[in-house]
């Protein structure tokens, strides 16, 4: 009995969702930013798959769909890195405001 490739791919997809869900929800809050950064780096591989899909097709519809896939994958990856950068900026210590305004007011009186 031979199992279809679609069934095997569907099983792998469901297992990946299950593992991903448990990995994300069991990580401590301090590690969410590094986890997101690594996830974005790994998801950059999607662009390679989209390029292969666009390059291997013969019809115009497939090439347009592949080009659209490359564009959407690029938006996904770059957007993910921007979100990660913003998350990292939240952890930076803010410098205290200089009391220059108070010193000037004190000098006037």
Residue 19: the pLDDT is 92
Report the pLDDT value the prediction gives residue 27, as an integer from 0 to 100.
Answer: 83
In a domain, 99, yes or no: no
CA 90 from centre of chain? 17
Would 27 be classed as within a structural domain?
yes
> Do 67 and 53 form a contact (C-beta atoms < 8 A)?
no
Q: Which domain holds residue 67?
A: 5-91
Number of domains within the chain: 1
Q: Is 100 domain-assigned?
A: no
pLDDT score for 13:
93
**Residue position matching structure tokens 């896939």:** 69
| Pairwise CA distance, residues 52 & 69, whole Å | 10
Q: What is the mean pLDDT for each group of 10 consecutive residues in the chain (109 residues)?
A: 88 93 83 76 78 82 84 85 81 72 58
* Residue 16 domain-assigned (yes or no): yes
Structure tokens at 47: 């662009």
Q: What is the largest CA-CA distance in the chain?
A: 94
Residue 65: inside a domain: yes
pLDDT at 52: 82
Give the span between the Cα atoms of 59 and 43, in whole angstroms. Answer: 27
């Amino acid at each position: 009995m031979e199992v279809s490739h679609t069934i095997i791919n569907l099983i792998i997809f469901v297992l990946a969702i299950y593992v991903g869900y448990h990995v994300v929800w069991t990580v401590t809050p301090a590690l969410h930013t590094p986890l997101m950064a690594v996830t974005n780096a790994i998801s950059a591989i999607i662009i390679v798959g989209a390029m292969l899909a666009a390059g291997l097709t013969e019809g115009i519809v497939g090439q347009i769909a592949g080009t659209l896939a490359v564009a959407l994958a690029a938006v996904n990856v770059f957007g993910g890195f921007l979100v990660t950068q913003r998350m990292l900026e939240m952890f930076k210590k803010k410098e205290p405001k200089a009391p220059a305004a108070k010193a000037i007011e004190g000098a006037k009186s």
